[in-house]
Amino acid sequence: MKNDNKNNKKMVEDITSMEEDFAKWYTDICKKADLVDYSSVKGCMIIRPYGYAIWENIQRIMDTKFKELGHENVYMPMFIPESLLQKEKDHVEGFAPEVAWVTHGGSEPLTEKLCVRPTSETLFCEHYANIIRSYRDLPKLYNQWCSVVRWEKTTRPFLRSREFLWQEGHTMHATAEEAREETVRMLNVYADFHTNELAIPVVKGMKTPSDKFAGAEDTYCIEALMHDGKALQAGTSHYFGDGFAKAFDIQFTDKDNTLRYPHQTSWGTTTRMIGGIIMTHGDDNGLVLPPAVAPIQVVIVPIAQHKEGVLEANRAMYDRLKNNFRVKLDDSDNSPGWKFAEYEMKGVPLRIELGPRDMEAGQCVMVTRHNLEKTIVPLENLEEAVAAKLQEVRDGMYAKALANREKRTYSCTTIDEIKESLKQGDGFVKAMWCGCEECEDKVKELTGVGSRCIPLEEEHLSDVCVCCGKPAKHMVYWGIAY
Amino acid sequence: MKNDNKNNKKMVEDITSMEEDFAKWYTDICKKADLVDYSSVKGCMIIRPYGYAIWENIQRIMDTKFKELGHENVYMPMFIPESLLQKEKDHVEGFAPEVAWVTHGGSEPLTEKLCVRPTSETLFCEHYANIIRSYRDLPKLYNQWCSVVRWEKTTRPFLRSREFLWQEGHTMHATAEEAREETVRMLNVYADFHTNELAIPVVKGMKTPSDKFAGAEDTYCIEALMHDGKALQAGTSHYFGDGFAKAFDIQFTDKDNTLRYPHQTSWGTTTRMIGGIIMTHGDDNGLVLPPAVAPIQVVIVPIAQHKEGVLEANRAMYDRLKNNFRVKLDDSDNSPGWKFAEYEMKGVPLRIELGPRDMEAGQCVMVTRHNLEKTIVPLENLEEAVAAKLQEVRDGMYAKALANREKRTYSCTTIDEIKESLKQGDGFVKAMWCGCEECEDKVKELTGVGSRCIPLEEEHLSDVCVCCGKPAKHMVYWGIAY
C-alpha cells in the first residue's frame, strides 16, 4: 500500500489545483489525461486517441439525431476563393481578418488567393444556387463534419485554436417561418444534448445585435457556466433570412409559380464542447466524464490479482458487461492505487473493484468518479447496478453543475449590485437592458461582464435598464466569456 | 405506359454510352447519380448527400475493422510547417512540388509558410518522438480520417482532385518484422474490403522501386482493373523501416535497456474507391452499387398505387424490411417507369415492385440492378429473399468484374505479344521483368503499359525479361493507370 500511495500522490501532485490556478489546472488536465498534445504547428492541437474517442462519441450521438430530423451529410471544399467570400458584405467583414490564405499551389502563385474555410455559408450558397429550382427542392437540410480555421492570436486547447473540428448545418426553406422553426429546433437539439448527454446545464438565448454572427439576422446560442464562474458559448444557431440568398441569387419557383428567395439557417457545435466538459465537471483529481461520451464507462480493477481465481473472476465480470457498456479491465502490473489515480485522472465514470474478500462475499465495490462514493453491490445484480450507477453519475454530475451555476448566478438591478455580487466570485449576472449598444459597452466597462444572451425565458427583474435607467426591453445574462 | 417509356428514355439519353466515351460516361454518372457537384473552387469537388452516404458506409465498415485490430483514431493539424516537411529528404522531394502553401494568417504574412497536409508522416513522427519512450509504448497503432490536398494539374471527381478525403494509418513497432507484418496485414484488410464489400477483384502486390511512396522502403498496393481495361491503384500500405525515426530522432528503450529506433508503416485509402466502384460496376443505365455500401439497398416501387390497398401493402412491406436493410419506399407521384430509371441511375442493388395483381397472388417482383433480372417472390418469404438477393447481387457483381478482368488480362513473353494483345483492348499485361528501371521505362515507351505491381503471388511465365532478355527477377502486372 505504501507504494500505491506514493504513485497516487505523484500523479495528483502533477496537476495544479483548480483553486490555485484554474487556467493551469485546465491545461494540466488536457495533457495529463492524454487528451491533446502540442506540435510545431503554432496554435493548432493534436487530438490524442483518448480525446478523439470523446469526439467520436459526441459525433455519433449528434449525427444520429441530425439524421432522425431529416438532415443529410455532405462535404464541401476546404478552400474558398476570395471573390466568393466577398459576396455577402457583412460576412466577409466578419471573417476576412481571421482567415488563413493559400497563395501558392506547388511552386506557382495562384491567380486568385483561397482562404481555408472559417465557416462554409458561401460554399453552401453557391451550391444551393445550382441545385434549388422549385419548392419541391425545399427544404434542403445539409450538414457537414469537418475542420475549420480561424487565425486566432491567443489559443488554448479545445477552447480556442487556429484549427478546430466541428459540424456545420446549413439549411434552406421556402418560408421565413419554417427557417425560424429550424433555427430554434436545432438550438433545442444542442440544449438537450448538453443537458442529457453531457450533464451540462445551459441557458438558451439570443445574442444581442452587436454579438450576432457575421451576416445573420438572429443568432441563438446556448451558454454554460464553467466551474470558475466564466461563461462558455457552447453552440450557436443562426437565422439568415434571405440575405445570402439574394447575394448568391438563389431563387425557387413557388407553388403559385412566383420566383422567391428561400430562407436560410446555419448551426454549429465544435470540439470546444470537450473544453466545456472539462471545465464544468473536472476536479483536482482530474477529468470527470459524462457516461454518454466517456471512451471508457467502466474500469474494472482487480484487487490482489496475483491471488488464485481473482483475475478469472474479474474477467468473468468483464465478459458480463462488455456487450452493453464501454468497459476496460486493467490487469496490468501496476498497483491498484496507481490504477485508481490513473482512471480518476482520465475521468472514467465508474470503477469496479473485485478482490478475494469481495469474491467470498459474492459482491464487488463500485466507486462513482464524480463524488468518489463507494457502494457494495451483490455480483448477481451486476448489469442492472452498472446501468443504474451510470445514470446516477449523469444525474449527480448535472445536479452538481446546476448547483454551481445557481450559486454563481446573481440577479441585479443596479451597476453597484453587479459589482458587489461579483466580489463573491465570477458568475452569471441577470439584469435588465434597454436594448442599446452603448449600455452594453458601459456595463462591461464598469463591471467586467459582457452580455451573453437574452434568454428565451426572460424574467422581469425591474422596469428599467440596469445601466441608463430608461425602460427595459429585455432581461440579459451577463458574464465573462471564454 | 407511354409516359413511363418517355421518361425512362429521357434519363438514359442523358448519359453518354460507355462504349462511345468512357470518360464522359464516368463524369455523366457522377453528376446524374447526384454524387458530386462542381464549385468555383477549381479542382475540388462537392460530395453530395448520395455520394457522401457511400463514403460514410465505407468509413463505418473500415473503421470497425481498424479498431478490431487495435488501431486508435487521432486528429493531427492540417498544416505542416515547411521546416517539418523538409526533415525527411526523399519525402519532401516527393511532395513539395504538389502542395498548397499558406503564406498569410489574417492580414499578416507568416514567419514560416505552412503547407496544407498532402499526407501526415511528418506530423505523426514529430508526435511519436514526444510520446514514445519505452518498448512498453509500442506498438503505436494510429489512424486518422481527414482531407488532404495535392495540387494536381488535371482533375476528375473521386479519381484525382486537389482535395480528397481519406484515412491514413501510421504505426510504430519495436521490430522490423512486426512493422512488415502490419504493412501486409493492412494490405490484406484493404484487399478483403474490396473483394467482400465492394465486389471489386484486386491484385495484391508491391510497387517497383521507381514507383514507391516518397520515403518508403517498400510500397504495397492493391490494383483493380476498371471496365475500360485501365488500372486503378485502390489502396497502398508502406513499410518505412527506421528512416523517418532517424530523421525525427524517435527512440525507445528496449527490454535489454538499449536505445533503438522503432520501425514504421503507413497505409491509406481514399474517396477514389468510389471512382473504382463506378468504373468497375457501372453500366449505360447508370451506377451499380455493392449492397454493403449502397445508401439505399432496396427501393420499393408501388405499381398502380392509386388503386385501393396498394400503398398500404407497400408500406407493410417497408415496415417489415426497415429494421434490417437500408430501404426506401418511393410513393411519390412519379410514374413507375420514371422511378425504375431513377433508381437504376442511382445504382440501388434491389428493386421490389408490388401492384394489385401481385397482391392477389401473394407475391412481389424483385429486380436485381446489376443484371436487371426479375424474380417472383412469395411475400411470406420477403425478409429471407431480400437478404439472399443482396448476397446474390454482391456475388454476381464480383463474378462479372472478375470475368472482365480475366478477359482483359494477357500473359506475354515478348514486346510484340504485348502490342498484339493490347489490340484487343486495354487491360492487364502479365510479363517477366529483370528488375531494372530502364526496362520498365522502355516497356512503357514501346507498348503504353507501365508497371503496376509485382504481385504477391507471382507466376513463372518465362525465364527472361520481356524487354531485355536478361534473366527475369519478377513477374509484373503492367497496365495503363488512372
Who among B53, B105, B123 is closest to A39 (CB)? B123
Distance CA A312, CA A307 (A): 10
Asked whether the beta carbons of residue A49 and residue B142 sit closer than 8 angstroms, the reply is yes
Contacts B107 to A, Cβ<8 Å: 97
Asked whether the beta carbons of B158 and B274 are under 8 A apart, the reply is: yes
Contacts A274 to B, Cβ<8 Å: none
> For residue A46, what is the nearest residue in chain B, using CA coordinates?
B76
User: What is the rounded radius of gyration, in angstroms, for the C-alpha atoms of chain A?
Assistant: 25
Asked whether the beta carbons of residue A105 and residue B101 sit closer than 8 angstroms, the reply is yes
Beta bridge mates, B165: B147
Asked whether the beta carbons of residue A46 and residue B149 sit closer than 8 angstroms, the reply is no
Contacts A81 to B, Cβ<8 Å: 40-41
Distance CA A466, CA A414 (A): 5
> For residue A104, what is the nearest residue in chain B, using CA coordinates?
B101
Who among A104, A126, A131 is closest to B40 (CB)? A126
Q: What secondary structure does DSSP assign to A294-307, as a single string?
A: -S-SEEEEESSTTS
The gap between the terminal CA atoms of chain A, to the nearest Å, is 42
A255: number of Cβ within 10 Å: 9
Who among A47, A73, A101 is closest to B104 (CB)? A101
Residue type, B433: W
Query: pLDDT value at position B96?
Result: 86
Contacts B146 to A, Cβ<8 Å: 147
CA–CA min distance B106, chain A (Å): 4
CA–CA min distance A387, chain B (Å): 25
Beta strands in A339-378 (DSSP E): 350-354, 363-368, 373-378
Distance CA B4, CA B254 (A): 72
Largest CA distance in chain A: 82
Asked whether the beta carbons of residue A77 and residue B106 sit closer than 8 angstroms, the reply is no
List CB contacts of B163: < 8 A, sequence separation 6 or more. Answer: A77, A78, A79, B43, B44, B45, B147, B148, B149
Residue type, A47: I
Who among B41, B55, B84 is closest to A81 (CB)? B41
Asked whether the beta carbons of residue B100 and residue A104 sit closer than 8 angstroms, the reply is yes
Across the A:B interface, residue pairs with CB atoms under 8 Å apart total: 150
Who among B40, B126, B151 is closest to A39 (CB)? B126
Interface test with A, best of B40, B82, B140 (most A CBs within 10 A): B40
Asked whether the beta carbons of residue A97 and residue B106 sit closer than 8 angstroms, the reply is yes
Provide the pLDDT confidence category of residue B14 given band limits of 50, 70 and 90.
confident
Residue type, B438: E
Asked whether the beta carbons of A364 and A358 are under 8 A apart, the reply is: yes
Contacts B149 to A, Cβ<8 Å: 78
Asked whether the beta carbons of A294 and A396 are under 8 A apart, the reply is: no
> For residue A81, what is the nearest residue in chain B, using CA coordinates?
B41
pLDDT digits (tens, 9 = 90+) for A186-223: 999 999 999 999 999 999 999 999 999 989 999 999 99
Who among B46, B84, B97 is closest to A74 (CB)? B46
Question: Do β-strands A72-73 and A140-149 pair in parallel, antiparallel, or remain unpaired?
Answer: parallel
pLDDT digits (tens, 9 = 90+) for A240-296: 999 999 999 999 999 999 999 999 999 999 999 999 999 999 999 999 999 999 999
pLDDT digits (tens, 9 = 90+) for B151-196: 999 999 999 999 999 999 999 999 999 999 999 999 999 999 999 9
> For residue B56, what is the nearest residue in chain A, using CA coordinates?
A73
Beta bridge mates, A259: A253
Asked whether the beta carbons of A35 and A275 are under 8 A apart, the reply is: no
Asked whether the beta carbons of residue A73 and residue B84 sit closer than 8 angstroms, the reply is no
List CB contacts of A357: < 8 A, sequence separation 6 or more. Answer: none
Query: pLDDT value at position A13?
Result: 55
**Torsion angles phi and psi, residue A47, rounded to 5:** -95, 115
Asked whether the beta carbons of A224 and A194 are under 8 A apart, the reply is: yes
Three cell numbers at A208?
A: 444581442
Interface test with B, best of A56, A78, A95, A127 (most B CBs within 10 A): A78
Buried b (16+ CB within 10 A) or exposed e, B123-141: bbbbbbeeebeebeebbbb
Per-residue pLDDT of chain A (482 residues; tens, 9 = 90+): 333 444 444 455 579 999 999 999 999 999 999 999 999 999 999 999 999 999 999 999 999 999 999 999 999 999 999 999 999 888 888 888 899 999 999 889 999 999 999 999 999 999 999 999 999 999 999 999 999 999 999 999 999 999 999 999 999 999 999 999 999 999 999 999 999 999 999 999 999 999 999 899 999 999 999 999 999 999 999 999 999 999 999 999 999 999 999 999 999 999 999 999 999 999 999 999 999 999 999 999 999 999 999 999 999 999 999 999 999 999 999 999 999 999 999 999 999 999 999 999 999 999 999 999 999 999 999 999 999 999 999 999 999 999 999 999 999 999 999 999 999 999 999 999 999 999 999 999 999 999 999 999 999 999 999 999 999 999 999 999 99
Asked whether the beta carbons of residue A126 and residue B39 sit closer than 8 angstroms, the reply is yes
Distance CA A221, CA A212 (A): 10
> For residue B35, what is the nearest residue in chain A, using CA coordinates?
A74
Map grid coordinates 510545431 to a residue.
Answer: A40
Does residue A1 sit in helix, strand or coil?
coil
Question: Do β-strands A231-241 and A79-81 pair in parallel, antiparallel, or remain unpaired?
Answer: unpaired
> For residue A100, what is the nearest residue in chain B, using CA coordinates?
B105
Three cell numbers at A431?
A: 439584469
CA–CA min distance A38, chain B (Å): 8
* Mean pLDDT (whole number) for B39-61: 97
pLDDT digits (tens, 9 = 90+) for B416-464: 999 999 999 999 999 999 999 999 999 999 999 999 999 999 999 999 9
Residues listed for chain B: 482
Handedness of CA A424, A425, A430, A433 (dihedral sign): positive
Does residue A47 sit in helix, strand or coil?
strand
List CB contacts of B258: < 8 A, sequence separation 6 or more. Answer: none
Who among B37, B56, B126 is closest to A40 (CB)? B126
Asked whether the beta carbons of B293 and B347 are under 8 A apart, the reply is: no
DSSP B459: -
Interface test with A, best of B101, B114, B326 (most A CBs within 10 A): B101
Asked whether the beta carbons of B341 and B12 are under 8 A apart, the reply is: yes
Asked whether the beta carbons of residue A40 and residue B83 sit closer than 8 angstroms, the reply is yes
Contacts A94 to B, Cβ<8 Å: none
Asked whether the beta carbons of B328 and B296 are under 8 A apart, the reply is: yes
Report H helices in B69-164.
Answer: 82-85, 89-95, 121-131
**Torsion angles phi and psi, residue B257, rounded to 5:** 70, 15
Three cell numbers at A475?
A: 432581461
Query: pLDDT value at position B13?
Result: 56
Buried b (16+ CB within 10 A) or exposed e, A394-419: bebbbebbeebbeebbbebbeeebbe
Asked whether the beta carbons of residue B106 and residue A116 sit closer than 8 angstroms, the reply is no
Residue type, B189: V
Q: Say yes or no to pLDDT of B94 above 90.
A: no
> For residue A332, what is the nearest residue in chain B, using CA coordinates?
B136
The gap between the terminal CA atoms of chain B, to the nearest Å, is 42
Half-sphere exposure of B302 (CA within 13 A, CB side): 22
Distance CA B230, CA B482 (A): 7
Query: pLDDT value at position A89?
Result: 85
> For residue A53, what is the nearest residue in chain B, using CA coordinates?
B73
Interface test with B, best of A39, A60, A326 (most B CBs within 10 A): A39
Contacts A131 to B, Cβ<8 Å: 37
pLDDT digits (tens, 9 = 90+) for B266-307: 999 999 999 999 999 999 999 999 999 999 999 999 999 999
A481: number of Cβ within 10 Å: 14
Residue type, B190: Y
Cα-Cα-Cα-Cα torsion B12, B14, B18, B19, nearest 10 degrees, comes to: 90
Who among A46, A52, A79 is closest to B127 (CB)? A46
Who among B80, B83, B100 is closest to A105 (CB)? B100
Contacts A83 to B, Cβ<8 Å: 40
Classify residue A452 by burial, with Cβ atoms within 10 Å: 0-12, 13-18, 19+.
buried
Three cell numbers at A6?
A: 506514493
Residue type, B280: T
Distance CA B262, CA B128 (A): 10
Distance CA B398, CA B199 (A): 5
Residues listed for chain A: 482
Question: Do β-strands A428-433 and A409-411 pair in parallel, antiparallel, or remain unpaired?
Answer: parallel
Query: pLDDT value at position A90?
Result: 86
Distance CA B282, CA A459 (A): 62
Distance CA A439, CA A209 (A): 13
Q: Say yes or no to pLDDT of B17 above 80.
A: yes
Beta bridge mates, B397: none
Asked whether the beta carbons of residue A103 and residue B99 sit closer than 8 angstroms, the reply is no
> For residue B130, what is the nearest residue in chain A, using CA coordinates?
A37
Who among A103, A106, A123 is closest to B39 (CB)? A123
Asked whether the beta carbons of residue A99 and residue B106 sit closer than 8 angstroms, the reply is yes
* Mean pLDDT (whole number) for B336-363: 97
